[in-house]
Amino acid sequence: MNIALIGPGKVAHLHAKAVQQVPDARLVAIWGRTYPKAEAFANEYGIPAYADIAEMIARAQVDICIVCTPHPAHRTATVAALDAGAHVLVEKPLASSLEDCDAMLEAARRNNRQLGVVSQRRFYAPCQRMRQAIDEGRIGKPVLGVVQLLGWRDEGYYRSDPWRGSWAGEGGGILVNQAPHQLDLLLWYMGEIEEVYGLWANLNHPYIEVDDTAVAVVKFKNGGIGNILVSNSQKPGIYGKVHIHGQNGASVGVQTDGGAMFIAGMSSILEPPVNDLWTVPGETDQLAIWKDEDSDFFNRVDSSTYFFAQQLTDFCGAIREGRSPLITGEDGRRVVALFAAIYESTRTNRPVRLSN
């Protein structure tokens, strides 16, 4: 598979390194809105730079584009790549609005191409272990889902790129940029949402326009309920957790992030992801064993790129095998629908029902 990157920003370097870890995949091109920046990126990786997406896909015979632009620009780049014949994997979130998501999904259907969204935490062993326990009915029906993401972003982070911290440039705050990984896991475990009541606020970042904190109460279509608390206002950054409680009283959980929150191109991952809650009957003694095994594995790989490579391997396999990837464009839309509902609920001070 020939892979091209769209957008030569910080996270694009991680994807470039991840491509090198995927069998039968190679990085062949980069597109950038600012050509000199794309050219500098291209020189670093020994690939050509392009100023036109369709030309890049045709001349470099691109199979897959990975979109790494700021969120409000995802739609334009993705539709252009799909219309030019490439499959597309989009950095989270899929977009910053449902209108953009729907245009991207329609372009994928129109061109019979795969569209996926980056959510590499699904490939963490503790996250997959939770999904297996749910699928096998070991906690009964999942009835209560809880997300907590307590982290910190300083002024230097928001000044590191001109698009950060504004509605026009970023499309939102923590809900759009930091929380999508945990929101995706919540939806993966609990299923479709029926109704959301939420609030967002800016608690201690007066130099940005957008949310640094949000809370929500969620009603799921399976009858379960959920609670979301996400914030960028706790120094130096604490943890991200997703806990799922089952109808039979058993619970499973993961700490996806610990210490200070990971910032692509600016910081490293401080603590390995581990199951931090496991009360399935007959399995509680496995928790310490899994923590040791998962920590050892995580510390032996390049955690900043390994799980990107795992997702790209799955995406390539989906194209070859004619199946859906683990994380689809529709999955990405569900996350956008959730954070869009929280913004709308704050504006109206009412619960928001999700249509699909």
Q: Which two tokens stand for residue 102?
A: 């729907």
User: Looking at the structure, do residues 49 and 104 belong to the same domain, yes or no?
Assistant: yes
pLDDT tens digits for 12-34? 999 999 999 999 999 999 999 99
Q: What's the total number of domains in the chain? A: 2
Q: Is there a single domain that holds both residue 222 and residue 275?
A: yes
Query: Which of 96, 117, 138 lies at the terminal end of a domain, its last residue?
Result: 117
Nearest alpha carbon to residue 150 among 100, 221, 215: 215
- In the block, tokens 């604490």 appear at 238
CA distance 315 to 292: 29
Report yes or no on 207 lying in a domain. yes
Alpha helices by DSSP H, the chain: 10-19, 35-45, 53-59, 74-83, 98-111, 125-135, 155-159, 167-170, 174-177, 180-190, 286-300, 306-321, 329-348
Crossing angle for the helix pair 125-135 and 180-190, to the nearest 10 degrees: 20
Instruction: Please give the structure tokens belonging to residue 30.
Output: 């980069």
234 is in which domain, residue-wise? 121-298+328-348
Tell me the two tokens of residue 241.
Answer: 């957790």
Instruction: Report the candidate in 356, 315, 334 with the shortest Cα–Cα distance to residue 90.
Output: 315
* Nearest residue to 65 via CA among 123, 122, 121, 111: 111
Give the domain-ending residue among 100, 117, 134.
117
pLDDT number for residue 63: 98
Q: Are both 105 and 132 inside the same structural domain?
A: no
Place of tokens 């598979």: 1
Residues 22 and 46 in one domain: yes
**Six-digit token string for 188:** 């993966």
Among 117, 137, 172, give the residue marking a domain's end: 117
Phi, psi (deg, nearest 5) at residue 116:
-130, 165
Q: Does residue 137 come out as left (phi exceeding 0), alpha (psi in the -120 to 50 range) or beta?
A: left
Which one, of 280, 244, 252, 251, lies nearest residue 144 by Cα?
244
Question: The domain that contains 92 carries what CATH number?
Answer: 3.40.50.720
In a domain, 286, yes or no: yes
Q: Which helix (H) or strand (E) holds 258?
A: strand 251-258
The CATH number assigned to the domain holding 149 equals 3.30.360.10
Tell me if 319 is assigned to some domain: no
* DSSP H or E stretch at residue 143: strand 142-150
- Sequence-distant (6+) residues with CB within 8 A of 249 are 140, 279
- Tens digit of each residue's pLDDT, the chain (356 residues): 999 999 999 999 999 999 999 999 999 999 999 999 999 999 999 999 999 999 999 999 999 999 999 999 999 999 999 999 999 999 999 999 999 999 999 999 999 999 999 999 999 999 999 999 999 999 999 999 999 999 999 999 999 888 899 999 899 999 999 999 999 999 999 999 999 999 999 999 999 999 999 999 999 999 999 999 999 999 988 999 999 999 999 999 999 999 865 555 555 567 899 999 999 999 999 999 999 999 999 999 999 999 999 999 999 999 999 999 999 999 999 999 999 999 999 999 999 999 76
Q: How far apart are CA 343 and CA 215, in angstroms?
A: 10
Paired with 326 in beta bridges are none
Q: Among residues 202, 170, 22, which one has the least CA distance to residue 97?
A: 170
Angle at 171 between CA 318 and CA 80, to 5 degrees: 45
Please report the pLDDT score of residue 356 as a whole number: 62
Which residue's entry shows tokens 């090198």? 20
| Residues 74 and 178 reside in one and the same domain | no
